[in-house]
């Protein structure tokens, strides 16, 4: 096996060349940067079929990011994976409430998940936040209730939690809402995938 000797800045470019060469079907040009970055992050070509996009979602998402809408994640891992440099260029705050003391105490008192309480805190924010969920299906389920109660109107929902319990159903319910979404149908996903989708959108504006 030949080893490619590349300087660091060339590794990502070469990775995307390999992804492009191994794709079996052409991608929608507007969606391609998102799909390819998720494949790059997960090394999983299943996302070509798994990723679902609401109509005109990229336009809605880019408008929200250009307005500087806040991004709320359901894990600190997803928050850490989102490009700080790109967010700084656009004046965007990235928030995660999962480890905050009041969230932990409220969740314990009510016998619910911190992810549910985090979505309630997100609903208190000004504007129309971008919600990026890669960890907790309960975040999506509570978010759906909050939307139905007209307590929050997200600019975009990124619904890509990974796992087995309520994961598939939570994603399907998000896709029934009249809200822009990017969802990874099925069990696959993760905080890294959520961050990859956010970054793909950010890079469309900042690179």
Using one digit for the tens of pLDDT, what is the confidence trace for 32-85?
999 999 999 999 999 999 999 999 999 999 999 999 999 999 999 999 999 999
pLDDT, position 187: 97
**What's the average model confidence in pLDDT over 86-94?**
98
Q: What are phi and psi of 127, to 5 degrees?
A: 85, -160
Residue 2 has pLDDT above 80, yes or no: no
Residue 4 has pLDDT above 90, yes or no: no
Tokens describing residue 29: 């040009």
In angstroms, rounded to a whole number, what is the distance separating the alpha carbons of residues 57 and 154?
12
Q: How far apart are the first and last CA of the chain?
A: 34
User: Which among 186, 106, 174 is positioned nearest to 144, based on CA atoms?
Assistant: 174
pLDDT, position 6: 78
Structure pTM?
A: 0.95
pLDDT, position 203: 98
Q: Give pLDDT tens digits for 108-141.
A: 999 999 999 999 999 999 999 999 999 999 999 9
Residue 29 has pLDDT above 90, yes or no: yes
Domains along the chain with CATH numbers: 51-206 (3.40.50.10230)
Residue 1 has pLDDT above 70, yes or no: no
> Which residues are part of the catalytic machinery?
40
In angstroms, rounded to a whole number, what is the distance separating the alpha carbons of residues 99 and 132?
16
Q: Is residue 19 a contact partner of residue 39, using CB atoms and an 8 Å limit?
A: yes
Query: Concatenated DSSP letters for 174-187?
Result: HTTSSS-EEEE-SS
Residue 194 has pLDDT above 90, yes or no: yes
Tokens describing residue 60: 């809605």
**What's the average model confidence in pLDDT over 95-101?**
97
pLDDT tier at 3, thresholds 50, 70, 90: confident
């Amino acid at each position: 096996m030949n080893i490619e000797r590349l300087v660091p800045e060339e590794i990502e470019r070469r990775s995307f060349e390999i992804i492009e060469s191994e794709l079996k079907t052409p991608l929608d040009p507007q969606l391609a940067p998102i799909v390819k970055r998720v494949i790059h992050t997960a090394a999983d070509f299943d996302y070509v079929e798994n990723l679902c996009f609401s109509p005109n979602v990229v336009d809605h998402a880019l408008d929200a990011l250009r307005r500087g809408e806040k991004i709320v994640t359901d894990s600190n891992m997803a928050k850490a994976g989102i490009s700080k440099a790109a967010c700084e260029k656009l004046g965007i705050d990235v928030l995660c409430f999962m480890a905050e003391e009041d969230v932990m105490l409220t969740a314990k008192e009510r016998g619910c998940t911190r992810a549910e309480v985090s979505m309630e805190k997100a609903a208190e924010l000004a504007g129309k936040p971008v919600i990026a969920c890669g960890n907790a299906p309960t975040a999506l389920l509570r978010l759906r209730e909050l939307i139905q109660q007209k307590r929050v109107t997200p600019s975009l929902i990124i619904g890509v939690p990974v796992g087995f319990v309520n994961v598939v159903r939570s994603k399907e319910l998000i896709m029934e809402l009249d809200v822009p979404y990017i969802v990874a149908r099925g069990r696959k996903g993760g905080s890294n995938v959520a961050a990859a989708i956010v970054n793909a959108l950010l890079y469309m504006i900042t690179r």
